[in-house]
Structure 1
Amino acid sequence: MVYISYMDSPIGRIYLQSSEKGLAAINFRKNEKPAGEFEEKEDEHIKQAKKELGEYFEGKRKTFTIKLDLQGTEFQIKVWNKLLEIPYGELRTYAQIAESLGGKQYSRAVGTANKANPIPIIVPCHRVIRMGRRISNYSGGLDVQRKLFEIEGIKYNDIKYIMRH
């Protein structure tokens, strides 16, 4: 069974989705509901996610312990597991993640996997930037990314924000 719920946060309303295995998705967009059957209910994974995210937004949590149900290709899951290794308050480039997976030639694929990350914040795709300290295309929007940087104490004054149309 798939469960969904939401929580209000400093970055707006967050929609949470879980399975029996763990937290499966965090969504910033209201109208995206899971395919198939689901129940609007707070199971143990959603309750834990709300607690941990609340602590994160208050600046009291730097790591998450919730079980995750990551669904994706083998490469995507490898990328997302690398994202989980990025320490709180630090940034990495797509190229650095790609090198850790075998070579800079995978940078674009890392970016694609980053964009497909189903559990932003907990799987910290907001901590990945382009070469030259450039940022674009964060799934929650640049304002959300800036707020997450503020929470984590990441200085973003020297980071270039690139808007794509």
Structure 2
Amino acid sequence: MDRGREMTYFTYPSEIGELRIVEDEGYIVAVDLTGTESSEIQAMYIESAIVATAAEQLYEYLSGERLVFDLPLRPKGTEFQLAVWNALLAIPYGQTRSYRDIAVAIGNPKAVRAVGMANHHNPISFIIPCHRVIGANGSLVGYGGGLPLKKRLLDMEQSVVENGLFK
């Protein structure tokens, strides 16, 4: 990918671990916890304005002060993956959907396992809320950051909603 400019990234400490935010041509293309498998993206270590804005919004989200992200996103994936990730963006804060719900939402109800794989390959964690996808029986299944982090994020969102901090 030679566009005459390299992608940039910056890392930020947070209460859930070190966050890495990657930007390419003014778009957020990846957010992950350093040390995860998606941390292999090659980019220059520079804090761009959009990366700093993303970090600020992530901190607000993690402190329960932000329900919706307002960032330019450009996840890289197949047409199917992009459809799944767009469906994830439609899951409201504090709510969950099953893999089957997502498959139905993208018009492919038999693609439950493929939805799971697309969810697993979500490059923009937290902002594209893959943690809001659960098993059909309501169980917490599959999360790149680990099930304790998934539970923590869902519990935080539920607490914010239940306490009426945002309506």
> TM-score higher than 0.5 here?
yes
What does the per-residue CA deviation read over 1:32-51, in whole Å, with 9 as the maximum and x for residues that have no partner? 2313xx21011122111111
Alpha-carbon offset, residue 29 of structure 1? 3.0
Of 51, 58, 65, the match for 2:63: 58
Structure 1 spans left out of the alignment, 5+ residues = 155-165
Given that 1:16 and 1:25 are in contact with CA atoms closer than 8 Å, whether structure 2 keeps it comes out as yes
- What is aligned with 1:110? 115
Runs of 4+, deviation exceeding 6 Å: none
What does the per-residue CA deviation read over 1:108-141, in whole Å, with 9 as the maximum and x for residues that have no partner? 1111100000001100000001110122220111
Percent same amino acid at aligned positions? 36
Of 48, 52, 56, the match for 2:53: 48
What does the per-residue CA deviation read over 1:23-82, in whole Å, with 9 as the maximum and x for residues that have no partner? 1111223372313xx210111221111110011111110000010111000000010001
CA distance 1:77–1:21, shift in 2 (3 Å): farther
Of 134, 141, 146, the match for 1:141: 146
For these two proteins, the number of residue pairs brought into alignment is 152
TM score, norm. by length of structure 2 = 0.86
- What is aligned with 1:157? none
Structure 2 spans left out of the alignment, 5+ residues = 1-5, 160-167
Q: What is the alpha-carbon root mean square deviation over aligned residues?
A: 1.4
In the aligned structure 1, how far is the partner of 2:56 from the partner of 2:50?
A: 10
- Give runs of aligned pairs for residues 14-93 of structure 1, distance below 5 A: 14-30=19-35, 32-35=39-42, 38-93=43-98
